Chains A and B, each alone.
Chain A
Amino acid sequence: MGTEEGRKESFYPSDEEIEKWMSSAFDMAKDALQSGEVPVGCLLVYDHEVVGKGRNEVNETKNATRHAEMVALDQLLDWCRRGSLDVSSVCERAALYVTVEPCIMCAAALRLLNIPAVVYGCRNERFGGCGSVLDVSSADLPETGTTFKCVSGHRAEEAVEMLKTFYKQENPNAPKTKTRKD
């Protein structure tokens, strides 16, 4: 369990934590790229433990909302259930590490669960919900959970490069399969 002085307001990942967990997120993204999947790595960390880990599952579920973040949030909920832990007290001290800025939907989902901190690599120009298209992370939405803090730009160029590589290998080979990349 977390330290006593770490109240909700002061909860924030340290630089070492950011370095460490983003490195894992990037490893996940690289693995995904090598197996021809959307190169996005995403993990939820609570009390120095990974409690949710997601990859995009849109194609296999035919559910366009199965972004890596949503999958990771489901794992966090299962983890709480298995350990009989209170979801809100876990969420209040959890952080999301993801190589690409969460989209508008995922940003709203993170708010609804009161996740206080999101660390991401590059911007998501098409769907970004932490400032690129809309700023859901800090907007005044009293009925949509709580705002969260963002740390952005961590190894951004590398994240962009992976996405570019993915698009390049996708486009010429698969003109008709319309694989979701977001």
Chain B
Amino acid sequence: MEPQTKRWKGSVCDADSWVAYPVLSDKQSQDVELIEAFAAPIVDKKETSRLLRELSGLYPLNGLQHIKRVRAVREKGSPHPLEVLVCLVSDAPDLKAVSIDSLLPSGGVRRGGLGEPFVVKVPARPALTRPQFELASKHWPTSFHEDKQVTVALRGELFSPLQKARMHTYMTAALTAARAATELGMEAVGAAVVDPATERIVAVGHDCRGDHPLHHAVMVCIDLVAQSQGGGCYSFDRYPACRFTPPTPDTSQSAAGVAASSQPYICTGYDLYVTREPCVMCAMALVHSRIGRVFYGTSSADGAVGTKYKIHSQKDLNHRFEVYKGVLGKQCEALNGPGSHIKREIDN
């Protein structure tokens, strides 16, 4: 960590004024789901390994490999030091008269060393993030294979000051384009496509809905990227803030450049910076274009990479990408400020 003085003493770097947080999949961000199970005290500690072996044979807890079968009792002064999961409530043979004898039919498990059962709640799924793990552990101990990158990202600390300074530059380009769109009476949305391998801005575009109702900033950028590769199907020549950089010989050697020239998935390996969360059409256009990562400033009401859908992590789709929000969040939010609303109402 840098010393606090450097972080707070003013504008060492504007990039300190925002934090980029990951937009995780529903699986990663949902609440911890619990299921009921019977646990029983282990009154004789010496019997623990035998009980574990025999219980796993009788009630294997399929699909719950993340659950630890035995836990230490937290309360001080408890007469028994350990508790063991006997079985899931749904697997119990007789729910009318539950006793340790009814749960352990003769032959399978010798009940020596076990006390009477009681109901506990255990996490139904493995934890995918540290917050999920911490919540799950409050109910019953579980194992956790931590994705360190996700943990760091959730703390808003994934990007180094140098990376943040670059991200700041790219989003500033998108913001400048968004302001140009406002001048033209279009929606205040701007976007920039960047090749992170060469740190080069490939295309910058803004909303052009005045000409074509589907020319959202992202769609404009996708076509500009196509133009930078010798394709494309529209002309944005009359909009100086919509532009692309033709590839130079050295940039075409980059991984993204090679990928782009050899196949039609033209955004492979590229990052998109966009002032507000893309709509469904634009989000799916980014899937079709195989975008690498998406960074947006602020959420939108029908947004499709966080708000209404998480198309970037949608199961069944053949391409997934990382999404981060909050880059220059305040400035992006200000684009939708009261002034721009009044302007839009007049236009309508």
Chain A residues proximal to chain B, CB less than 8 Å: 57-66, 70, 73-74, 77, 87, 103-105, 107-109, 111-113, 125-127, 129, 133-134, 136, 139, 141-144, 178, 180, 182
**B214 x A61 contact (CB < 8 A):** no
**Residues of B179-221 whose CB lies within 8 A of A:** 212-214, 219
> Once bound together, how far apart are the Cα atoms of A107 and B291, in whole Å?
20
Judge if B285 is at the interface, Cβ distance under 8 Å: yes
* Residue in contact with A70 in the complex, picked from B214, B232, B267, CB distance below 8 Å: B214
Task: State how many angstroms separate the Cβ of A29 from the closest Cβ of chain B.
Answer: 20
Q: For chain A, what secondary structure do more than half of its interface residues adopt (helix, strand, loop), or is it mixed?
A: loop
Give chain A residues whose Cβ lies under 8 Å from the Cβ of B311.
104, 134
Complex interface: stretch among B6-14, B21-29, B276-284: B276-284
**A112 x B281 contact (CB < 8 A):** yes
Q: A113-B214, A129-B284, A143-B302 are in contact. Are A64 and B222 (CB under 8 A)?
A: yes
**B265 x A64 contact (CB < 8 A):** yes
**B301 x A143 contact (CB < 8 A):** yes
Complex interface: stretch among B33-41, B109-117, B131-139, B223-231: B223-231
- Residue on B with the closest CB to A73? B214
Judge if B263 is at the interface, Cβ distance under 8 Å: yes
**B317 x A127 contact (CB < 8 A):** yes
Judge if B108 is at the interface, Cβ distance under 8 Å: no
**B316 x A133 contact (CB < 8 A):** yes
Judge if B5 is at the interface, Cβ distance under 8 Å: no
Judge if B342 is at the interface, Cβ distance under 8 Å: no
- The listed residue with most A CB atoms (<10 A of its CB), out of B232, B267, B316, is B316
**A62 x B301 contact (CB < 8 A):** no
**B280 x A144 contact (CB < 8 A):** yes
> Once bound together, how far apart are the Cα atoms of A66 and B166, in whole Å?
32
**B213 x A87 contact (CB < 8 A):** yes
Task: State how many angstroms separate the Cβ of A181 from the closest Cβ of chain B.
Answer: 11
Q: A70-B214, A108-B280, A127-B317 are in contact. Are A64 and B285 (CB under 8 A)?
A: yes
Judge if B1 is at the interface, Cβ distance under 8 Å: no
Give chain A residues whose Cβ lies under 8 Å from the Cβ of B318.
126
- The listed residue with most B CB atoms (<10 A of its CB), out of A104, A107, A112, is A104
* Residue in contact with A62 in the complex, picked from B212, B232, B280, B302, CB distance below 8 Å: B232
Task: State how many angstroms separate the Cβ of A128 from the closest Cβ of chain B.
Answer: 9
**B309 x A143 contact (CB < 8 A):** no
Give chain B residues whose Cβ lies under 8 Å from the Cβ of A104.
280, 284, 287, 311
Can you give 19 A-B contacts (C-beta < 8 A)?
A: A62-B230, A63-B223, A63-B226, A63-B233, A87-B213, A104-B280, A104-B311, A105-B281, A107-B280, A108-B279, A127-B284, A129-B280, A133-B314, A134-B311, A141-B302, A142-B302, A143-B301, A180-B264, A182-B288
**A64 x B317 contact (CB < 8 A):** no
5 cross-chain pairs, A with B, having the tightest CB-CB distances, nearest first: A62-B231, A105-B284, A108-B281, A108-B280, A64-B288
Task: State how many angstroms separate the Cβ of B98 from the closest Cβ of chain A.
Answer: 44
Give chain A residues whose Cβ lies under 8 Å from the Cβ of B223.
63, 65
> Once bound together, how far apart are the Cα atoms of A108 and B314, in whole Å?
16
Task: State how many angstroms separate the Cβ of B193 from the closest Cβ of chain A.
Answer: 13
**A109 x B230 contact (CB < 8 A):** no
* Residue in contact with A178 in the complex, picked from B230, B263, B281, CB distance below 8 Å: B263
Give chain B residues whose Cβ lies under 8 Å from the Cβ of A136.
280
Task: State how many angstroms separate the Cβ of B127 from the closest Cβ of chain A.
Answer: 27
